Structure 1
């Protein structure tokens, strides 16, 4: 019998272009299969969630919440969202911030369940997005009865909410601080009472035109209709797209001296609200750590009359001398220098494999700084944007357009065109910026003028150490990649210099290319000449018809 030819395994994940080539029947078949897979996954997750809920219920049966005191608090949560599917709990995954947060809250018996906790979140962050300043409002179990909760002694001796939660949360989700909500404001909400939200979007300079991006940013400030700079969520009833941007700037990520300039220093002072001080923005003109220089601290010609025994009796009246070299050096033992040494105590001896000779010659051993160069393509910047509230994917859409401006593909004035919804009623099709660099940095509340965030000193110390360790590992990885890049770029430059017959850019600069999602076309089409999406009015009409069809099917 003739053997059948080997059948290639069908590719499971198709690109957008490949999907567009399929006919209707193939697409329907794929959708049916995907819906079947989704149902299977939903059933598995539902079963898993049910089992975990039952286990939690069994663990809490002995705890009588009816005998507990509760207090309303604001709780500041920090998380790195790179490995999560967003903040909000979802039906088909447990990899959300809220899932882990409520798991910890319930397991610690700080709340009985989500439904009775009066929970509100400040900002809804999407898949991949991080936050240093996320704030939630919630009712937590307290040691103290309601009438005594706002006495300073009760606050100082309250349950260590952050410490309790951090023992149960994953390492990349941390409770940072909490703030008591006054008894007469029980409905105070992290979402509705937030006065300002601040986001940062980090990116490398690469070959971007920072000046052009800054010009474009200036056009965002004020109350504008941002329907073309967000993802319109008409299906969920969002039909109003005017939002006020209070501040939009492109700033460098400062290593030292980051406190220079006008900043809000409420967290770096003792707030004197009792004496009417409610404004904490101050301008720092200069901030440096300098050594206390002694006379003659540097090499060169100096007057050493105070660093000698003056011998005026013998006619010595001139004390300027030139020091050519001054160093503190170790007293070297024999064999202290580089060369052939016996390293048996500075290795793991592998005698079992016959290694009995441990003399090796070290030709060079130095500790050197990793040199940073000024305005290199790897210099980091960030978009700082502040507003009262933001639309779905608004900042990532704004950043997507700013990157096109920085690449020179669009002029800064394209922002004005996208904001002119009368002249351009339909949004042009374009790609958002990547999710990973976005960070909900800070949420501002009027309550902060009368109350202070409560930090646990030991817990804060633990968190700082943890983040320093994380920084070390991530920065080592970054430095290793950069070191490899420098070697490869040097080889590439040599090839370009030696190849006189072929035109070749001696330097490749593509650091920011990955920040714009989607397929990159060979020929660029300007934004305002692209295909457009449906207008707001068309979307509203579409959803009206859709709801009408649903109502008819349900009544029929």
Structure 2
């Protein structure tokens, strides 16, 4: 056929016709049904990392999302490799996650546990933004969530316009057991009545090596964390670093009742003042810790022929490429500086001595190279405050919670015979 004389519409129609013929044609070697029950399986834990900016969060969603979820991609890879039964779903393989991360948040050592049929072949199927690092056999009753003894988060940021010593002083006040209701987002679906958590360590230090020189990181370790807790903590640390708040505001926000922080003269802050949490992009769930007897991480050893395409080589190449982009962007900035004068920086106030006058705009940092431009600043303890968690819980119970329970009851009644 002389396809070069065909119109675009005719070519599309012909291609559609050929695709339909291909799909309807009998296969020479028909697909065989895979009987999962015929093969032994074991429970394992998987340790993996992922680039949060490429995904709509970790947890798989019932409704469509703008970006894929990490769990959705991982589940499909496991199913494609026939390591789990797609039809049985997450419940069928006993799927559990250590901790949930939101859209944009990355992980360097996330963990899931599941019943698994074969050895690790997932990195050949998964996209480069998700990498399986290691696996471990675990006991049948192991839970990646409840067996976790502590979690380690990292939040990266540029120190420009920030008073790092003040931020470090404030971070140290977080260590220990405290009520963190003012450092999180209330989630009434969980009906929490206690917001006490224990921070093991909170350190701010420079990042060493590569093009990250000059960057700083908050190293935060705790036994468990509340909803959006790390991003709320970082938002307060940014305000302190900018000189807009004193480090002592951390103690005040932890003082949810008289004497909670040991000083009866402190103001009581039992509901959270209104403030914007920090950006998700620089946040990483770096590591999930377990007792030595619960997990023994193992990695498949690469043969000499595979070393060039091995996991370490892949990760090294990704880092090298990102450093290349960073170097190029630094040169672009240098070229721009030859023609444009950098704007005056008024932060941190502790270094510049500037006093907000209600006219001069300040770039209040939000993390992830994002800022909120503001000409005036209202101290945290003078801001409007949200409702008490008991009020939020009750409102949800009689509203969405009650409607959810009613829908469940109707479904159960429909199923009765």
Choose 1 or 2 for highest CA Rg: 1
- What SS does structure 2 have at the residue aligned with 1:244? strand
Selected match of 2:97 from 121, 132, 135: 121
Give 1:524's aligned residue.
Answer: 377
Give 1:474's aligned residue.
Answer: 322
CA distance in 2, matches of 1:60, 1:389: 46
- What SS does structure 1 have at the residue aligned with 2:298? coil
- Residue 417, structure 1, aligned to residue 252, structure 2: yes
Q: Residues 420-448 of structure 1, C-alpha deviation per residue, up to 9 Å, x if partnerless? A: 11211221110111101001101111136
- Residue 83, structure 1, aligned to residue 59, structure 2: no
Give 1:136's aligned residue.
Answer: 112
CA distance in 1, matches of 2:216, 2:95: 35
**How far off its partner does 1:210 sit?**
0.5
CA distance in 1, matches of 2:60, 2:295: 32
Selected match of 1:171 from 111, 122, 128: 128
CA distance in 2, matches of 1:467, 1:533: 44
CA distance in 2, matches of 1:99, 1:238: 28
**1:495–1:130: structure 2 CA closer, same or farther, 3 Å change rule?**
closer
- What SS does structure 1 have at the residue aligned with 2:373? coil
CA contact (8 A) 1:431 1:517 kept: no
Give 2:272's aligned residue.
Answer: 427
Q: Residues 272-305 of structure 1, C-alpha deviation per residue, up to 9 Å, x if partnerless? A: xxxxxxxxxxxxxxxxxxxxxxxxxxxxxxxxxx
- Residue 92, structure 1, aligned to residue 64, structure 2: yes
Q: Residues 298-342 of structure 1, C-alpha deviation per residue, up to 9 Å, x if partnerless? A: xxxxxxxxxxxxxxxxxxxxxxxxxxxxxxxxxxxxxxxxxxxxx
Give 2:19's aligned residue.
Answer: none
**How far off its partner does 1:513 sit?**
5.7
**How far off its partner does 1:378 sit?**
6.9
Number of aligned residues: 346
Give 1:252's aligned residue.
Answer: 206
**How far off its partner does 1:514 sit?**
5.3
- Residue 223, structure 1, aligned to residue 200, structure 2: no
CA distance in 2, matches of 1:548, 1:481: 49
Show the 5 A alignment for 1:77-476. 77-90=48-61, 91-93=63-65, 95-112=68-85, 113=88, 114-142=90-118, 159=119, 161=120, 164-181=121-138, 185-255=139-209, 379-422=214-257, 423-447=268-292, 451-458=296-303, 462-476=310-324
**How far off its partner does 1:236 sit?**
2.8
CA distance in 1, matches of 2:293, 2:320: 33
**1:457–1:238: structure 2 CA closer, same or farther, 3 Å change rule?**
farther
Give 2:357's aligned residue.
Answer: none
CA distance in 2, matches of 1:404, 1:167: 44
- What SS does structure 2 have at the residue aligned with 1:488? helix
CA distance in 2, matches of 1:249, 1:212: 12
CA contact (8 A) 2:177 2:197 kept: yes
**How far off its partner does 1:74 sit?**
1.1
**1:396–1:211: structure 2 CA closer, same or farther, 3 Å change rule?**
same
Selected match of 2:389 from 500, 512, 536: 536
CA contact (8 A) 2:151 2:224 kept: yes
CA contact (8 A) 1:120 1:191 kept: yes
CA distance in 2, matches of 1:495, 1:78: 38
**1:476–1:510: structure 2 CA closer, same or farther, 3 Å change rule?**
farther
- What SS does structure 1 have at the residue aligned with 2:374? coil
**How far off its partner does 1:390 sit?**
0.7
Structure 2 length as normaliser, TM-score? 0.76
CA distance in 2, matches of 1:190, 1:489: 50
**How far off its partner does 1:207 sit?**
1.9
Q: Residues 219-265 of structure 1, C-alpha deviation per residue, up to 9 Å, x if partnerless? A: 10111111110001123322321110101110111229xxxxxxxxx
RMSD: 3.0
**1:449–1:479: structure 2 CA closer, same or farther, 3 Å change rule?**
same
CA distance in 1, matches of 2:302, 2:55: 29
CA contact (8 A) 1:74 1:137 kept: yes
**1:450–1:516: structure 2 CA closer, same or farther, 3 Å change rule?**
closer
**How far off its partner does 1:473 sit?**
2.2
CA contact (8 A) 1:119 1:138 kept: yes
**1:435–1:236: structure 2 CA closer, same or farther, 3 Å change rule?**
same
CA distance in 2, matches of 1:442, 1:523: 39
Q: Residues 104-144 of structure 1, C-alpha deviation per residue, up to 9 Å, x if partnerless? A: 111111111322211111110110001110011111104xx
CA distance in 1, matches of 2:46, 2:338: 50
Give 1:37's aligned residue.
Answer: none
CA distance in 2, matches of 1:549, 1:84: 32
Q: Which structure ranks higher in relative contact order (CA pairs < 8 Å, sequence separation ≥ 6)? A: 1
CA contact (8 A) 1:194 1:444 kept: yes
CA distance in 1, matches of 2:370, 2:237: 14
**How far off its partner does 1:510 sit?**
7.0
